[in-house]
Amino acid sequence: MPITFTPLAENLIATITANKLSTSTKLASLFTPINYSADIFNSTPGIITANYGFDGYIGVPGMPNTDSESQAAALKFNVAWEYIDPSLNLNAGQRAYTSGADFAASEGANGVAMLLDDTIPVVFSMPVLPTTVNTTDFAVTLNDGSVVTPVVVSMTPNLEFNERQVVVLEGEFGNRLQPGQPGSLYPTSVTIVNDGTPLELLSTTGPVSIVGATVASSNPYVAGNGPKLVGAKLNRFSDLGEGAPAILGTASIRNSGGDLYGADAQYRLRLYTSAGFSPDGIASLLPSGYANYFILRARDEQGNLIPLILAGTPYTIGTFGTITVVGLADLTTVGTPENAAYIGDHDNYFDVILKGDLSAIERLADVRMPSSGSYKAVYNPGGPGNNPTGSLDNSTPPPGPFTVASSDHTIAITNDLNGSLVATYVETGAAVMRDPYSGQPIGTSLGAAVIDTVTGATIWCYQDPNNAIFYASFAAASAVATNLAGGLQTTTAIDLLNTTSIAAGTNTANLSGSISREASLNSTLRFYTVLDSAGTVVDPLISGGTLRPSDGARYRAAALSSTNLVSTTGSSIATSNGATVAFSFSVDGGKLYAPVLSLDNGSDSWFAFGSANSDGLEHLTSFGANVFGCEDLKGGGDRDFDDLIVRFSVAQSAT
């Protein structure tokens, strides 16, 4: 493998190794700051699909085993159960029999009771930063107009360090009735909302906010809406980023092309899917199953498309040489027998492992899934299984309906043989300071840690201003304050610091982030309590009275009074000209807070509501989710709004 690790990779290797050895069985343990050699499937950050996965399979009561009682429980709740010939004496795990999840097991893994709940896999164009994922990031709109927040959000089954581009939502999202039927309920769209810790993806240049992204949701019980390929990305084979915490991802251990095929794993075509692929909604694809589902095509010098039908057969691509499909990978642990007990990892990725001449490999054009005739269809992991009628073992069949089969479709192959669409960002300890304007991690390069000697792709080791070590495949930002061009004509309302999702009383919220200053005037940023998004405050002089920003001097005095002004340690923030610093402080939950920038010479204080300011102008503007800039001069100054730039996040304090 053409990968070189320098001594600077020591902390990276230790972090990955420790995470693989994690003994936590909680799915939340995957929300660690690790994206390691992860694929980018589209250079535009966004949601590719967020389709209704299946109904009623999560939290099935009384289904802990593979015995007849568990089967009866599954069938009782309309959950498909696979028939496996008992004469094989396979002692198969439960996932070989059903894609349903037992009630007690789901509660143990999720930390919350799930009863016959549903799923939605949200398929992103880029890796998700796991530390930014929360249930409150997602708003699921249903066909009746209601908006639902998931009960659970999980990275499973997309566990591996180089995956994590898919987040699975679990909750009550609908039923199996066809649209238009009385009582039918199903998702119509999924939107990313700002919950105080904006959801971020990892691009080739660093983290990017995905707040505001939305996509329509299709129904898997409607013909034509079966699972599909949404990406096909060609790379030189590498084991970087393979693996996951063993306690959660046993099927994800040693399942790579290198594990299965050794030196024959020269190239990897990673197929990215809208849902898990299963031959019948329960069973797993097998490493030898390429010819049952896929046709790769390569273009010769005349433009003819040459189909690669079988695995193990060299195909000549004009004068460019040959390509051989070695087999499928990223399924389950090497050495697992290929029979009815085979349990794959059931995630949104399948690797087609290839070998051959580079010039021929470069001619690969597309991949097709015929899904009919001599080719098998695939299903979401939601039935019908191989026993939809119950006739094989005389059981009573569940009524269904079940998820529909895939249909014929073709997707173009993205050539990434130079490794430019792969990204790494790994924090090894404390959270890394971010540039408040761009959101880029701030750090000084200590040198190269991991080098691909063929493509030149490099992972760098960085140290942030607080000595936190992190690794990234992109250039880090410096601690120098952002200097923007002036003359901004239109301002945008900022996001207030919102702790209303955190219960008031005994719970507190932690507000943290970074602030930079590009101004000669000294100033201090503080925060005060407001009653609503319009900036209303309690009037400390009149019992039950309130004031609005348009009340001018009275409002300014009330906002800065001890009744409303936040006074916890660290809540008054300042920095020197040209510098960026981190901040963190605690406030009460259940409230809204607005910022105010006060000049240290006592001349003015600038609020987020223009009508409150002494000059009647806007002095704060939004630069994105939870990012705002300030203009410190009366009358608007040069309107560059970079005199102070702030990036913040809100999270419940640890108890």
Burial of 87 (0-12, 13-18, 19+ CB in 10 A): exposed
Residue-wise pLDDT for 501-526, tens only, equals 888 876 789 999 999 999 999 999 99
Q: What is the DSSP string of 612-647?
A: GSTTS---EEEEETTEEEE--SGGGTT----SEEEE
| Residues composing the chain | 655
The residue ranges of every structural domain in the chain are 3-415, 424-472, 497-652
pLDDT over 80 (residue 324): yes
Q: Kindly provide the residue ranges of all beta strands, DSSP E only, lying in 138-265, ordered along the sequence.
A: 138-142, 147-148, 152-154, 166-171, 187-192, 200-203, 206-209, 214-216, 229-236
Mean pLDDT across the chain: 94
pLDDT of residue 504: 81
Q: Which residues contact 452 (CB under 8 A, 6 or more apart)?
A: 2, 3, 236, 238, 419, 458
Model confidence at 651, pLDDT cuts 50, 70, 90, reads confident
Q: What is the DSSP string of 493-508?
A: PPPPEE-TTS-SSS-E
- Averaged over 155-159, what is the pLDDT? 91
> Rounded to the nearest 10 degrees, how much is the dihedral formed by the CA atoms of 389, 393, 395, 401?
-20
Q: How many percent of the chain have pLDDT more than 90?
A: 87
Q: How many percent of the chain have pLDDT more than 70?
A: 99
Model confidence at 394, pLDDT cuts 50, 70, 90, reads low
Residue 478 is which amino acid? S
Residue-wise pLDDT for 580-599, tens only, equals 999 999 999 999 999 999 99
Q: What is the DSSP string of 391-418?
A: TTTTPPPP----PPBP--EEEEPEE-TT
Residue pair 53/383 in contact (Cβ under 8 Å)? The answer is no
pLDDT over 80 (residue 376): yes
Residue pair 269/234 in contact (Cβ under 8 Å)? The answer is yes
Model confidence at 483, pLDDT cuts 50, 70, 90, reads very high
Residue-wise pLDDT for 518-571, tens only, equals 999 999 999 999 999 999 999 999 999 999 999 999 999 999 999 999 999 999
pLDDT over 90 (residue 168): yes
Burial of 638 (0-12, 13-18, 19+ CB in 10 A): middle
Question: What is the distance between the alpha carbons of residues 580 and 336, in angstroms, rounded to a whole number?
Answer: 53
pLDDT of residue 250: 84
Residue-wise pLDDT for 400-416, tens only, equals 999 999 999 999 999 99
Residue-wise pLDDT for 33-51, tens only, equals 999 999 999 999 999 999 9
pLDDT of residue 655: 53
CA distances from 358 to 142, 309, 317, 322, 417 (A): 48, 19, 11, 9, 9
pLDDT over 90 (residue 392): no
Dihedral over Cα of 503, 505, 506, 511: its sign: positive
pLDDT of residue 206: 97
Residue-wise pLDDT for 49-99, tens only, equals 999 999 999 999 999 999 989 999 999 999 999 988 888 878 889 999 999
Distance from first CA to last CA of the chain, Å, rounded?
Answer: 45
Q: What is the DSSP string of 528-574?
A: EEESSTT--EE-TTSTT-EE-GGGTHHHHHHHTSTTTB--STT-SB-
Bigger pLDDT: 250 vs 436: 436
pLDDT of residue 184: 98
Model confidence at 132, pLDDT cuts 50, 70, 90, reads very high
Q: Which helix (H) or strand (E) holds 290?
A: helix 290-293
How much is the pTM?
A: 0.95
Q: Which helix (H) or strand (E) holds 649?
A: strand 644-652
Model confidence at 654, pLDDT cuts 50, 70, 90, reads low
